[in-house]
Amino acid sequence: MTIDIASISHEMFAPHLGQTFRFVAPEDGSVITEVELTKLTPRPECTPRWAKRTSFSALFETYGTSHLWNGYFQIDHPTMGLLGPFYIVRIIPRDPERGCFELVLN
């Protein structure tokens, strides 16, 4: 089942805060790293009037240090399934012992 990226919402991710997701290579489906969804932030101020959903950002953190950088990844979760690919950026982590990545959908 494919989900339209324009309809992916903050509400779809909210029940999965604190859970494990996987970043997957869109080219071959290989798992790149496991991450934890640590924060969701609705961004109504960034939402176009015609949008199907409110803009939001999702923070994912690795379970340890990571040398992974920005890139196109699919996101996989046991109940949500495979989503994307999305361009996900590495940001300054709240905890220097973890890699931190942000997905922005607006």
Which range of residues forms the domain containing residue 92? 5-105
The model carries a pTM of: 0.90
Determine the average pLDDT of the residues in 79-98: 92
pLDDT for 2 equals: 59
Nearest-angstrom CA–CA distance, 20 and 78: 9
Residues 6+ positions from 27 with CB-CB distance below 8 Å: none
In the chain, how many domains are there? 1
Least confident range from 7-11, 58-62, 86-90: namely: 7-11
- The angle formed by the CA atoms of residues 9, 17 and 63, to the nearest 5 degrees, is 125
Q: Which of 7-11, 16-20, 43-47 has the highest mean pLDDT?
A: 16-20
